Amino acid sequence: MFGEMQSNVLADRIESGHPYPIKALFAAGLNLQFFPNYNRLVENLKKLDMIVDTDYFHTPATQLADIVLPISSWLERHILVTSPTGFIRLIEPAIEPVGESWPEWKIFSELAKRLGFGHEFWDGDIEKCFSYILEPTGITLKELREHPEGIQYPESPRPAKYYEKAGFQTPSGKVEISSSILAKYGYEPLPVYKEPVESPVSRSDLVQPFPLVLTSGARTIYFTHSQHRNIPQLRKMVPEPLLEINPSDAEP
């Protein structure tokens, strides 16, 4: 059984100790800038007994870590590419891993072995793992190696308009405008707008000293979140963080 949570509540969980105290964190490429309230998160991470992080580079997260494990780049490891459209491709290493770096799958499979459930990770055999993923398609690793450009899986496991016979995957089998699943777990069954905790409406006292609202959902076309920012050609396009603001608001 595996527990899951939204990563942005990590600081809350460390502070509260609910549903159990968090003593250590094993992260894979932890990006501290991803979280709201950066300073609060850092202060809570400092409370942990141990932090392990994997990354290509030194980052603010690796500076907090007790152990930093170097990972192999995509040029140094096997990757099975799949997509919802049915395209499948096997990418094989161009070079051997540099230095002491490992691919992340190897790090976690070795950890699983030492915890006594390495069999759940195919005992570290990446080809067995890929074969397991491919099994429903009938495509083999041998075929993918014969077609390095990739293979288009010919059939969708779900037929078009499947819902006309089997219905939708809801308790009623119908499109549920009012969700019985959300109602079952105590949530509003219909979409309801809730004013943000801090907004010009909910905190009118902040409108005068802080008249502007910052949103951080926009993306540039040159990067994927925090990835590729170390590539010089792309950094030339957007050398500094980009902020867009109405010219009238930007005037002093």
Q: Which of 37-46, 158-167, 199-208 has the lowest mean pLDDT?
A: 158-167
Domain range for residue 101?
7-152
Q: Which residues contact 165 (CB under 8 A, 6 or more apart)?
A: none
Does residue 165 sit within a domain?
no
> Tens digits of per-residue pLDDT, 149-174?
999 887 555 667 777 888 888 999 99
CA 103 to mean position of chain CA atoms: 17
Taking 90 as the threshold, does the pLDDT of residue 241 lie above it?
no
Does residue 211 sit within a domain?
no
- Which of the two residues, 24 and 229, has the higher pLDDT score? 24
Under 8 Å between Cβ of 76 and 101: yes
Does residue 108 sit within a domain?
yes
pLDDT at residue number 6 = 75
Does residue 194 sit within a domain?
no
Q: Residue 130 maps to which CATH number?
A: 3.40.50.740
Does residue 247 sit within a domain?
no
Does residue 1 sit within a domain?
no
> Tens digits of per-residue pLDDT, 181-193?
999 999 999 988 9
Under 8 Å between Cβ of 107 and 27: no
Does residue 175 sit within a domain?
no
CA 66, CA 53: separation in Å to the nearest integer?
Answer: 8
User: What are the angstrom distances between the C-alpha of 113 and each of 43, 100, 124, 202?
Assistant: 32, 19, 8, 51
Does residue 29 sit within a domain?
yes
Domain count, the chain: 1
pLDDT at residue number 164 = 84
